[in-house]
Structure formats: C-alpha cells, structure tokens
Structure 1
Amino acid sequence: MGSTTDGTRVAPRGVVDLRGVDGTGFGVRYPAGAVVVVSGLPGAGKSTLLRRWSGAGAVPVVDPRAVHEACEAVMPAWLPYAVYRPWARLRHALLLRTSVRRGGPLLVHDCGSRAWMRRWLAREAGRRGRELHLVLLDVGAAAALDGQRARGRHASARVFARHRAGLARLSAALDHGDPVVPEAASVLLLDAVSRSRAVDVRFGR
C-alpha cells in the first residue's frame, strides 16, 4: 500500500498498484537521493515518462539509448551495432555506477526484466544510504508495439519476446503478492491511463 502526503501526491512504499485507476493528475514523491528505475516493454512509454519527470534536466536520467547513440556516432556507419554492443553496455554500466555514486536523486531507464541489474543497483545505492524504487509500466504488448511504431524505433522480435517473458513473470508474481523485488523499497504499477496521470516526481520532504 502507498501512502499519500496530500490528495495529489503518492509516496510509494511496498507495492502500489494504480492500474485501472482513473482520476486527475498526481505527483509521486520519493526520499531524497532515491534511485528510481522506470521499467516496461520497449514502446511502453518509459522515455516519455522520464522526460516529463526529469523536469528539463533537473533530475538526471541514465538511459541506455543515449549511450547507444553516443557509441554509434563514433563508429563507422557500416559496422553493425552487435559488434560494439559489449562496449556500449560496459559504458552504460560505468555511467550507472558513476551516477549512483555521485549522490542526489536519479532516474534510470531499464527494461526491468533483469533482476540482477536491480540487485546491483540496490547494492550500489544502499552503500550510500539510498533507496531503490521501481516503476513498472504495464501497458500490454499491443500498446507497446504501437508505441514503437509511433516513435519510429523497433526492438527485434527476439528482444521484445525476451523482455515480454521476463516482465510477465514479474507482473504475475506481483499480482499474487509474492515478494519478488525485495531489493526495492517500492514498486509502483502504472498502466497507460495512470502513466499519463503521473505528472511529476519530487524527492525529499
């Protein structure tokens, strides 16, 4: 259950399920210095939500797509991404570690299907007295595919299927009340409607 500081702001703790909940816009509040991981299928709206929450850069965002594009910019056009993917992933991991160690609130774009990534982030944050929180965008496969078409970027069928299977297991376990994300202080579940209502995020008191 999540607590609220007022009628329009939610302070998640534990599992907070806002799927299927209509209403007006609301804000989300996390502790100072929290690391918030926004997860969901490719095309689920993670980047859109993160742009809205980052407040024109007021809260830093670590997005693997930015690292991908930075690597792509310095590589020959004829070289397939698969060749330098390990380097891009290493750069992303180093950027994540540096960002967590720097302190202050942090927003992270992640597929969410890799439990080891959440555990690693939780350990890095916990060593500095910070909490890890998870936001899971559960919009369904059809809506996510529509989102990919709208943005003009497409995950391969293999990658999409892998993320879909991992997130389906996570969602099913959360629906059954299983403690599958012990490393996260909260899990906020949003669908397409509640995602659009989550107008901003604040950190601290």
Structure 2
Amino acid sequence: MNRTTAYATTTGLALPEQPAAQAREACGPVPSPVLRDLRDRGGRSPHALLFGPRDLVVVTGLPGSGKSTLMRRTVKAARIDSQDTRDRFDRLVPGFLPYAVYRPLVRLAHYVGLRRALRRGKGVVVHDCGTQAWVRAWLAREARRRGGKLHVLLLDVTPQQALEGQRERGRGVSRFAFRRHRGVAARLLRRVEKGDLPSGCGSAVLLDRDAADTLRRIGFTG
C-alpha cells in the first residue's frame, strides 16, 4: 500500500498514514488534511475504510444516525463505544433506576476504557457523541504522540432520519439535547465540507446512510 496517497476503489478506501519520523519532525512540512466525500454515490461507495496501524478514528454524527450500528458491524479491531458501556450498566442496575442517576458512572467507565485502549498503542475506533470537542482534542494529541493520525468519520443524515433511528432503537434524547446536537453537528459539517477539519485531524470521511450501509469493514493496516 502506498502510504503517502489516498485512493478509492469499489471495494476499499485507504487513508494516508503519516510516518512516525515525519510526525515527530516539528519543523518539517505538515501534510494537508484529506477530505473524502462518499455521499450521493447510490451505494457505489467503498466497502472498506483502512487506516494506519497507529491511527485513531472517531465516528461522529447525530444521535440516531447509526454510529453504534456501523461500528458493531464493521469494526473488528478495538472499538470504544459509549453505547456498549451503557448497555453493560443497564444489565446490572435495577430497572426502576432512571438512566440520569447512573449516567456519570457510565461516562466515567467509558473514558476509563478509552484510556486503557489508547495505552495499548494500536488503532482504535471511538464513538464520538459530537458535543465533546475535548475528546477529539485528546485523541489528536494521543495520535501525534504515537506517530499516527486522527481521522473523523462523519455520518451526515437528516434530523428526521436520526429521530427515526432513535425510535427504532427505543432510546432517544431530550428535545433540548437533540437541538444542541443538531447545532454542533451542522457547524462541524459546514467546516469539514470547506476542508476546515478539526485541529489535529489528518482526514475526514463524509458518509450518508447509503454509504454507511455499504461499508463492511473499518480497520487498520499492519
């Protein structure tokens, strides 16, 4: 695989890996971020997204956009999904206990698990709720430290599609929280479409529902 370029076929899309020596060269040239728009391809988008062995990937989008579903279907490597953490707690706590009561414990366990996964030094795919920009900043620093890159996979779905996704899973967010997510997601999407990626990101991939459904693998080389 050529690690200095990106290429797309009907079966896979490989994102460029930054060599460790180049990542540590503070005065050297900084490669421009890569943007891949896989929307509106009518199911003809790649079946796989491949990243460097030291890279980190965040999957972001509206609640109900299909982030957890996509990760469970396509990620065979390490994945950290807050929904998995919540599901584990849901099986342990009494059914009458509202989620709001144990939400702080779920979040704490999620970030502890993320830190543990990052310390292994291998590629990790992380569920990003979208409103926690500090998490992306943390991951960007970790990617630089290990000589890799941070990549963003942004699921671009309509609010109606996201709400339908929440109804299908039988779990939603409040109207206030959803409005907040909509604002954050819309701003991030506008930035990415202009090529203005979040600080520290090496690439961004835009996916609509068809492109997400076509994917069969999100993984790492090496």
Q: Could you say which TM-score interval applies, normalised by the shorter chain?
A: 0.7 to 0.9
Q: Which amino acid aligns with 2:176?
A: R
1:15 correspondence with 2:35: yes
Change in 2 beyond 3 A, CA 1:27/1:44:
same
Runs (4+) of structure 1 moved beyond 6 Å? none
Deviates more, 1:23-32 or 1:96-105: 23-32
- Where 1:149 maps in the other structure, the secondary structure is helix
- Where 2:217 maps in the other structure, the secondary structure is strand
Change in 2 beyond 3 A, CA 1:25/1:17:
closer
Aligned to 2:188: 170
1:92 correspondence with 2:110: yes
1:111 to 114, 129, 149: 129
Question: TM-score, normalization: structure 1?
Answer: 0.87
CA-CA distance at 1:25 after TM superposition: 4.7
- Where 1:181 maps in the other structure, the secondary structure is coil
Aligned to 1:42: 63
**Count of residues in correspondence between the two structures:** 200
Structure 2: state its 5+ residue gaps: 17-33
1:123 correspondence with 2:141: yes
Question: TM-score, normalization: structure 2?
Answer: 0.81
C-alpha distance in structure 1 between counterparts of 2:89 and 2:66, whole Å: 23
Structure 1: state its 5+ residue gaps: none
Identity %: 41
1:52 correspondence with 2:61: no
What CA RMSD, in Å, does the superposition of the two structures yield over aligned residues?
A: 2.0
Tell whether the 8 Å contact from 1:37 to 1:135 is kept in structure 2 after alignment: yes
C-alpha distance in structure 2 between counterparts of 1:25 and 1:128, whole Å: 28
User: What whole-Å deviation, never above 9, does each CA across 1:129-148 have from its counterpart, x for those lacking one?
Assistant: 23211100001111111111
